[in-house]
Structure 1
Amino acid sequence: MSNLRLPYGQQVRVVALSSLLLLAACGEKPQQAAQGDMKVPVSVVTVQPTPTEVLVELPGRVEAIKDAQIRARVNGIVTEINFVQGGDVKAGQLLFTIDPAPYRAARAQAAAQLQRAQADAKSARLLAQRYSTLIKANAVSRQEYDNATAAAGQADAAIAAAKAALDTADIDLGYTKVVSPIDGRIGKSLVTEGALVSATAATQMATVQQLDRVYVDLTRSTTELAQLRRALANGELERLGDGDAKAQAVLEDGSNYDLPGKLLFSGVTVDPTTGQVNLRAEFPNPDNILLPGMYVRVRLQQGVDEKALLVPQQALQRTADGLSSLMLVKDGKVEVKAVTVGPGIGGKWIISKGLAAGDVVIVEGFQKIRPGAAVQGIPWDPQAKAGDAKAPPAAKADAGAPGPGAEKPESQPADETPSSKPAPKG
């Protein structure tokens, strides 16, 4: 047993090391506790009622204000195409020329028939005038006089018929010059020179569309209309004044069309196959950005919600079952709140249920928190990047860190542990 006893100097060193370990363990506990009580900084907004125009976004198709199909009105061979395909044309501008030779001949024939009818009428009128004198002297019979008067009347009718035939020939001859009925943009030519066109079949030759203004035809379900009526009746929304129903188009790439439009009418008949009603909006289109057949979405004003509660879109969370929720700050801790989301307005959502005025909503910093976690709210800066929420000075300060004016101690190698024995002399 005596040879297991440590020398006196080694016993002193063991006791000293044990004391140092105990002191280090006792000093770590307060530091760990302090770190556990540190609040996580998050970006927040305080929700306040805000008067907001409520919009609805509906799908629609662009339609031309005027859509003229250029069709043949006489039979014949196309001899000329007198326009640039895809260009702008004016009303009355020559588009096609159909061979006019047969129609010139028909007009000449109608003009000759008119001259013949006029000559016959002149002779018949002179005979009737002569008989009107002779009948007074009983030089001719009453029957002969009546026949002469009737012949003069028939000659006048023949003149009228010949004039009508000449007018018809002039119209047909005019139809050989196919002109644009409206100002607009013409598409491709559907016929070529030498093609035979028919008035009976109404051969389509081209299409001219007016595009400086366009219609957008929309559809909306009767369910949405009923909800809107209830909101207006309950006072949740205030009705817009007459003529104030503005429309905003959203293009296929998600960008907004620059020029605002207006709602023209809302249909009163429901389509029995779809359960929807038709609406039509009108938009100015000076640069021809909106083209017929294009798919767009249109935002329409519904009314004004004087007490709308708005939150940024990134604040909304989706649960596993597809419901919506927000993270609120209650008494310095995170609380999850289920909400009902309304329409989106300018990068924000209208919250219709589950949120109250004055609630503090977390917008950024979700990666570091969980329900019940202690947090410190920092006002959200929309211009800052996501995740740039800065910790307050108190959270950043390290209790064990030296002050700004303190000198950094030199590190001591691990193998140069101070010995308890004095250095040997000499």
Structure 2
Amino acid sequence: MSEQHDTTPPRQPAAAHTASRKAALAGGALLAALVAGGVAFWQTRPATPPPKPVALKLETVKVETADIEQVVNATGNVVAQNYVDVGAKVAGQIADVDVAIGETVKAGKLLVTISPAVQNGRIENNRAQLARLKAELAGQNAQLDFAQLQFQRQTQLKAENATREESYESSRMNMYAAAARVDATNAQIQQTEAGIRDDEAIQKQNRIEAPVGGTIVTMNARPGQMVGASQEALMRIADLSRMTVQVPVAEEDVTRLQKGMTAYFTTPGYPGKRWSGKLRQIMLLPTDDSGRHGKKAFYTVLFDVANPSRELMSGMTADVYFVLARVEHALTIPLSLVTKPGLDGTQGVKVVAEGGKLEARRIKIGIRDGERAQVLSGLKAGEQVLLPANPPAPAAPAQ
């Protein structure tokens, strides 16, 4: 017969059971007190005020009156408009240089002296020989006159059969011989005079004089230097009273330029000062190394400016503005408000009307610069235009 085990839990003592019941009753009472306190607090709490509406701040800009111009901007250089390169015409050695860079000279001013390749003694000898030949010519002319008289006399005597034939022929030959000596001496005189003129011309070329008036801007001559007749320029004389601005302009902009339009520029050397002129010429061929192998083409544009005070110097940098259009006292708005126009050429904006209400308008835009655009219609001076929350990219300038 198998053994049986009793699984009934042991009976707790009476004192422990009583303590457990008291703890449960205490916890329930505490919970009830907390609930009652919460209900009372909720019923007696102060009323929470409703949230105030947040006012939406509108950002606007004022329609203003201003002068506005549309330009093409490029960077170029100032160069001399008129200049002459002066070189040597004869070979020799520079003996003296009579001018310096920056000096202003007049036409005919002595610039450089070259040691003469033709010695002065040779010219003097030729002149002495010329004097001797002229003296001989005078004697030969006298002999010729005498020979002619003798021949005339013999001719008369022959007609009267009063002379011999030999005497007649002898006088005739003497006359011819005297005339030949005169012709030979005249030829020698002409040859000597030509030699003297050549020597004097060569000697004159040893003195290099200024062909025009102006300022010496470059100098490649120094005393003791050997030069040849085909020597490169020894110096450059430029007229600095009028300068030319050379500007390389990109191909997409040069088509907007035209001869006679206004252009002005500034230069770092004179901050705040402006020079202006008229576009003179647009070169038809691109500048070197542009427009090849897929590179953008640039074309040289020229315009002239007066420089009476000689402030501008050749080589200065010029920040150039070609004026495409200019309007004075135009209605303008910031360029950030300009968007792509519709088919009718207008675009929309919102204007703050009376009472703070927004009113939709259609406006037409004219010329523009880098910051503002002209308003042709749709707005009045002083009106407030709403700025968009996310400004669109400015529309491209009208061509």
The residue that corresponds to 1:377 in the other structure is none
Structure 2 alignment gaps of length 5 or more: 1-27, 156-167, 292-296, 341-346, 392-399
Q: Which amino acid aligns with 1:168?
A: D
- Over 3 Å counting, the alpha-carbon distance change for 1:227 and 1:214 in structure 2 is closer
In the TM superposition, residue 14 of structure 1 has moved relative to its aligned partner by 0.6
- 2-side partners of 1:126 and 1:39: how far apart? 123
In the TM superposition, residue 296 of structure 1 has moved relative to its aligned partner by 2.4
- Over 3 Å counting, the alpha-carbon distance change for 1:51 and 1:118 in structure 2 is same
Contact 2:91/2:227 (8 A) holds in 1 = yes
**Correspondence 1:306-345 to 2 at 5 A:** 310-312=332-334, 315=336, 328-330=349-351, 344=369
Contact 1:77/1:197 (8 A) holds in 2 = yes
In the TM superposition, residue 370 of structure 1 has moved relative to its aligned partner by 1.4
Name the SS for the 2:284 alignment partner. Answer: coil
Identity value in percent: 19
Q: Deviations over 1:92-151 (max 9, x none)?
A: 333333224843223223323432442343234333333333332335565654554455
Q: Which amino acid aligns with 1:177?
A: R
- 2-side partners of 1:281 and 1:145: how far apart? 76
TM-score (norm 2): 0.62
Find the structure with the greater CA-based Rg. Answer: 2
TM-score (norm 1): 0.59
The residue that corresponds to 1:298 in the other structure is 320
Contact 2:325/2:367 (8 A) holds in 1 = no
**Correspondence 1:46-125 to 2 at 5 A:** 46=63, 55-100=71-116, 102-125=118-141
**Correspondence 1:256-295 to 2 at 5 A:** 257-263=273-279, 265-266=280-281, 270-271=284-285, 279-295=301-317
The residue that corresponds to 2:151 in the other structure is 135
The residue that corresponds to 1:4 in the other structure is 31
Q: Deviations over 1:378-409 (max 9, x none)?
A: xxxxxxxxxxxxxxxxxxxxxxxxxxxxxxxx
Residue from 184, 200, 208 that aligns with 2:214? 184
How many residues are paired up? Answer: 332
The residue that corresponds to 1:420 in the other structure is none
Name the SS for the 1:92 alignment partner. Answer: coil
- Over 3 Å counting, the alpha-carbon distance change for 1:147 and 1:329 in structure 2 is farther
The residue that corresponds to 2:245 in the other structure is 216
The residue that corresponds to 1:382 in the other structure is none
Q: Which amino acid aligns with 1:206?
A: M
- Over 3 Å counting, the alpha-carbon distance change for 1:356 and 1:167 in structure 2 is same
Contact 1:186/1:208 (8 A) holds in 2 = yes
- Over 3 Å counting, the alpha-carbon distance change for 1:148 and 1:70 in structure 2 is same
- 2-side partners of 1:8 and 1:300: how far apart? 86
- 2-side partners of 1:225 and 1:12: how far apart? 85
In the TM superposition, residue 288 of structure 1 has moved relative to its aligned partner by 3.6
Name the SS for the 1:260 alignment partner. Answer: strand
Structure 1 alignment gaps of length 5 or more: 230-239, 320-325, 373-426
| Root-mean-square deviation (Å) | 4.9
The residue that corresponds to 2:159 in the other structure is none
Name the SS for the 1:292 alignment partner. Answer: coil
In the TM superposition, residue 365 of structure 1 has moved relative to its aligned partner by 10
The residue that corresponds to 1:173 in the other structure is 203
Q: Structure 1 residues 281-290 or 302-311, which shifts more?
A: 302-311
In the TM superposition, residue 272 of structure 1 has moved relative to its aligned partner by 7.4
